[in-house]
Amino acid sequence: MCGIVGLFIKNPTLESQLGELIAPMLSEMTERGPDSAGIAVYRDPNDKGCKITVLAENLDFDWSDLEESLKASFALKKITVTQNHAVLTLDSAISEVQDWLNENWKELSVTSAGTNIEIFKGKGNPADFIEQFDIKSMRGTHALGHTRMATESAITTEHSHPFSTGQDLCLVHNGSLSNHNRLRETLRRSGVQFKTDNDSEVAAGYLSWRLSEGDDLDQALNHAIDDLDGFYTFAIGTRDGFAVMRDPIGCKPAIMAETDDWAAMSSEYRAIATLPGAENARIWEPEPTQIYSWKRSLE
C-alpha cells in the first residue's frame, strides 16, 4: 500500500499556496505510507539553463566543496541546500553537468533534472518530512507527492518516490510490479541505469527508456500497459502538468477531482477533502488504462 497525491494549480493566484495545499494532502495519506515520503515540485523555471536536485547520504555533508568546484567548471547561479538535498541552478548544459557529477561526485545521487522540477524525499513519517523540508512554504505550478509503505524492497531515501524519469519528468507509483527483475536486466542492456532494487524505479526507468526512444508520454504509457506486469496507479509529473494511469485490472485506488481553481488526484478522497472547494468539485474515478492529463498552456 502507498499513498499518492497530485495537485495542479489552475488559478495562478493559488500558486503561492501550492505547498500549503499539498502538505495536508500528503499528511492525510500517512496511514497508506508511513515509511517514507517524497515530493516533486515544479517551480522557479530556469529556462535558459537547468536545475538539478542532488541527494547526499548524510545530513552533515559539506556542500561548500561542491559549490567551489561547480563554480570552477560551470555557470553556477545558485545552490540551495535543504536537509541532505541541494538544488543546483546553473546556466549550463544539463547533460554536461550530469556527466560531471557522475564522474566527480559519486557520493551524490541526482534525484531530478530539468528546468522546473525539484525532487525531495526522505525516510520516516510524512509529518516529519513536511516539517523538515518546509513543504508548506513551497510556491509552484504543480506538485506530486508520495507516502510509501515498503512491500518489496528496503526503506531508504533512494527507494523512496518520486523517481526521476527524464528531464522534468517523474513518477510516483502505488502498487507492485511482478516482472521488474527481468525488465530491469533488459533495460540495463539498453543502457538504463538503476540505483536500487525497487520495482517502481524499474517503471520509471522503463518510461525514461521509451521516451528516449522517441515515444511521447501517452505512447510510453501505452507501451507500459503491454510490458509492465502487476498492479499500478501511476502519476507522472511533466514540466507543464501531470498524467494519471491505472493498470487494466484497476484494483489500486485512485480518485480525481477538479474545480475552476485546481485539479487533483489522490489514492483516496480524504486527501482531496483537504482542498478548498473540494465538496463541490467534479469528482470521478479514473478508468483502467485511460490516460488522464492536465497541462498548462505555455506562453
Partner 1 sequence: MTEINLENKSVRELNEKLQSASSGDKFSVNNTVGKHALSVGLTTEINVDINGHVGYYCAGMNQQAKIKINGNAGPGLAENMMSGEVRVTGSASQYAAATAHGGLLVIEGDASSRCGISMKGVNIVVGGNIGHMSAFMAQSGCLVVCGDAGDALGDSIYEAKIYVRGKVKSLGTDCIEKEMRDEHQKELKQLLKQSRMSYGVDEFRRYGSARKLYNFDIDKVDDY
Distance CA 68, CA 65 (A): 5
3-class DSSP state of 2: strand
Size of residue set near partner 1 by CB under 8 A: 17
Using alpha carbons only, give the angle 56, 59, 63 rounded to the nearest 5 degrees: 60
Question: Of these, 45, 124, 230, 288, which contacts partner 1 (CB under 8 A)?
Answer: 288
3-class DSSP state of 191: coil
For residue 217, the number of C-alpha atoms closer than 13 Å in the C-beta half-sphere is 26
Question: Of these, 181, 227, 284, 290, which contacts partner 1 (CB under 8 A)?
Answer: 284
Q: Which stretch binds partner 1 (CB under 8 A): 70-78, 91-99, 135-143, 277-285?
A: 277-285
* 8 A C-beta contact, residue 185 and residue 236: no
* The pairing of beta strand 76-82 with beta strand 85-90: antiparallel
Binding mask 240-259 for partner 1 (x = CB under 8 A): ----------xx-x-x----
Question: Of these, 100, 194, 268, 296, which contacts partner 1 (CB under 8 A)?
Answer: 268
Number of H helices, E strands in the chain: 8, 16
Question: Cβ closer to partner 1: 217 or 272?
Answer: 272
Instruction: Answer yes or no: 2 catalytic.
Output: yes
Question: Cβ closer to partner 1: 93 or 251?
Answer: 251
Question: Of these, 273, 292, 293, 296, which contacts partner 1 (CB under 8 A)?
Answer: 273
- Nearest Cα to Cα of residue 107 among 54, 156, 71: 54
Q: Which stretch binds partner 1 (CB under 8 A): 9-17, 113-121, 200-208, 280-288?
A: 280-288
Site for partner 1 contains 264 (CB under 8 A): no
3-class DSSP state of 285: coil
Site for partner 1 contains 24 (CB under 8 A): no
For 7, the grid coordinates are: 495537485
Instruction: Give me the least distance between CB of 273 and partner 1, in Å please.
Output: 4
Q: Which of 2, 50, 170, 251 is catalytic?
A: 2
Distance CA 296, CA 279 (A): 24
Instruction: Give me the least distance between CB of 290 and partner 1, in Å please.
Output: 12
**What type of residue is 247?**
D
Q: Report DSSP state, residue 287.
A: P
- Nearest Cα to Cα of residue 146 among 291, 275, 135, 154: 135
Binding mask 206-245 for partner 1 (x = CB under 8 A): ----------------------------------------
Question: Cβ closer to partner 1: 25 or 86?
Answer: 25
Q: Under the rule (CB under 8 A), what is the footprint of partner 1?
A: 250-251, 253, 255, 268-274, 279, 283-285, 287-288
List the catalytic residues. Answer: 2
